[in-house]
Structure 1
Amino acid sequence: MTMKTRIHLALIVLLSLTLAPLGVYAARQYFIASEREDRDIFLRKELLKADAIVDDAMAVEAYKKLTPVLPEIQVRIVQRQWRMALELMRYLQRAGNNAELKSETGAFGAQLKTLLDRMLERCATTLADGASLRPEILWQVYNAAGSAKVLSAFVMLETEQNLDKVQGVMREALTDYKASIEAVDKAGLPPAQKNIPRWNFELLNGEGSVQKYEVSTTDMEKNQALKENLETLIPEIGGYAPGEPIDTRVKK
């Protein structure tokens, strides 16, 4: 074997040893990408299945089983929880007006408070990483948090009758709605969707709904007045359907 042949063989062996790890790495990256794509496809299919579930409680449980828990999934969960909260509130109101069911108001109120607390906790967890959220997601989370706080204020007035605390929660709701407005303006959405948090903000802030009770005392008559006012402010659908306020200009 000539020296030239030996050199050629050595180069071939060297190239083989060099390229083999690269080939293994490339194959590994391909399989990782393929597995990720398969997981994404599977997740989207399972998400569509959960979306199709009519029962809100069952849908929430289905969403919770999906991994990873993407922000889109968190939004779906709080939207379903909001619908459950509204239904519980209706039960609570009916029980309060029915002598036979009046004894159950405490249980309904406790369930509603627990549900709202979970909803707000999920919103807070999602917003903790708010800087990384797309505006299309961010505005919905803030809007959900604001709506949950409005309903929490109503429940709080029913159970604690603490006017100062109620007003504090209502102000927090206004802050959330403002943040939702700022986010939705960056999302490039149609006017119908952009007006959703504006509508909720105007419902709560219109004609001084919060400020008008600043000097109120905490006697029964004043509490009842605020309770009746709050009942008209709770978004029936949590701002998840188009609403067109008379004036959509909001001070920020």
Structure 2
Amino acid sequence: MTKNSRITVAIILLSVGFLLCSVYSFRQYRSSAAQEQQYRVLQHELQTADAIADDPAAIIAYKKLTPSLPEIQLRIVQRQWRSALSLIQSLQRIRYHGELQNETGASSARLKSHLTEMLDQCSTMLVDAASLRADVLWQVYNASGSAKLMNAFLMLDDQQSADKVQGVIRDALTDFKAAIEAADRAGISPLQRNIPRWNFELLNGEQYIKKIEAARTDMEKNQALKENLETLIPEMGGYAPGEPIETKIKK
């Protein structure tokens, strides 16, 4: 091959290489631009959903967002808990007004169904708990424990056995403990880190379940549990600090 031929081949190869690099770079640019545009659209839609005051409407809006990132799923759980608080407050008002007693069953059924949906949402997120950031994970576990605690309250209303209720409360304790462990890894403020710890201490520290005497009838056991649980339902989504900041508990 002559010198001119080698130069020609080299030029052709360089041209092809440059063309391939250009095509690759262009595709990468288009992909990055598309991702950036998708991110901006998602952020705008997320801000719009966040601004919705009505919790059920906000949940519907969040569920329409894609991709369904953990942060979005967490927002759904938080809104579900706020709705649960509203529903149980409504149920309690109905109980205290004799003329509304006939609505108790329907109101209780709505709350049970809602809590089931909330716990399903938490369970879906926790299937792949290892992939969740700690600052998201602790909030999911904390919300799950709070929902189970509220569910225990409803079980007592249905006159279910104290043993079943104790089992649900133990599950709630397990969730609160997992929330504590995740919160300690999350690098969050001491105040936030203290939230699941407060919930755990409130249930476990007082030994409510163990204090119920075995000699009592099932109805008496249920009433004792119910009176305790009424004071334990978290006011703000299970996110209410009560113990001194930096308090540590034995895990």
TM-score tier after normalising by the smaller chain length: over 0.9
For 1:92, the equivalent position in structure 2 comes to 91
Do the aligned partners of 1:192 and 1:244 also contact (CA within 8 Å) in 2? no
Cross-structure match for 1:52 = 51
Which residue of structure 2 lines up, in the alignment, with residue 203 of structure 1? 202
Which moved further from structure 2: 148-157 or 40-49? 40-49
4+ long deviations beyond 6 Å: none
Q: Could you tell me which amino acid in structure 1 is paired with residue 16 of structure 2?
A: L
Q: Identify the residue that residue 243 of structure 2 maps to in structure 1.
A: 245
Q: CA deviation at 1:43?
A: 1.1
More displaced 10-residue stretch of structure 1: 172-181 or 49-58: 49-58
Matched, 1:135 2:140: no
CA distance in structure 2 between the partners assigned to 1:27 and 1:215 by the alignment: 74
Counterpart residue number, 1:174: 173
1:112 offset after TM fit, Å?
0.5
Counterpart-to-counterpart distance in 2, 1:209 and 1:217: 15
TM-score normalised over the length of structure 2: 0.93
> 1:153-192 to 2 correspondence within 5 Å?
153-192=152-191
Offset at residue 163 of structure 1 (A): 1.1
Alpha carbons 2:52, 2:58 under 8 Å: kept? yes
Q: Deviations over 1:150-200 (max 9, x none)?
A: 001001111242211110000010111011001111111111111110111
3-state SS of 2:99 partner: coil
**Matches of 1:246 and 1:23 in 2, distance apart?**
61
**CA distance, structure 1, for counterparts of residue 213 and residue 162 of structure 2:** 9
Give, in whole Å, the separation in 1 of the partners of 2:221 and 2:234.
22
- Percent identity over the alignment is 58
Residue 70 to residue 245, structure 1, CA distance change in 2 (3 Å): same
Say yes or no: does 1:107 pair with 2:85.
no
For these two proteins, the number of residue pairs brought into alignment is 250
CA distance in 2, matches of 1:67, 1:55: 21
Contact 2:62-2:76 at 8 Å conserved across structures = yes
Q: Which runs of 5+ in 1 are unaligned?
A: none
- TM-score scaled to structure 1, two decimals? 0.93
Aligned-pair Cα RMSD in Å: 1.8
Relative to structure 1, the CA distance from residue 122 to residue 180 in structure 2 (aligned partners, 3 Å threshold; closer, same or farther) is same
- C-alpha displacement of 1:30: 1.4
- Determine if contact 1:216/1:222 at 8 Å carries over to the other structure: no
Q: Are the counterparts in 1 of residues 159 and 222 from structure 2 also a CA contact under 8 Å?
A: no
Query: Is 129-138 or 22-31 further displaced after alignment?
Result: 22-31
Amino acid at match of 2:185: K
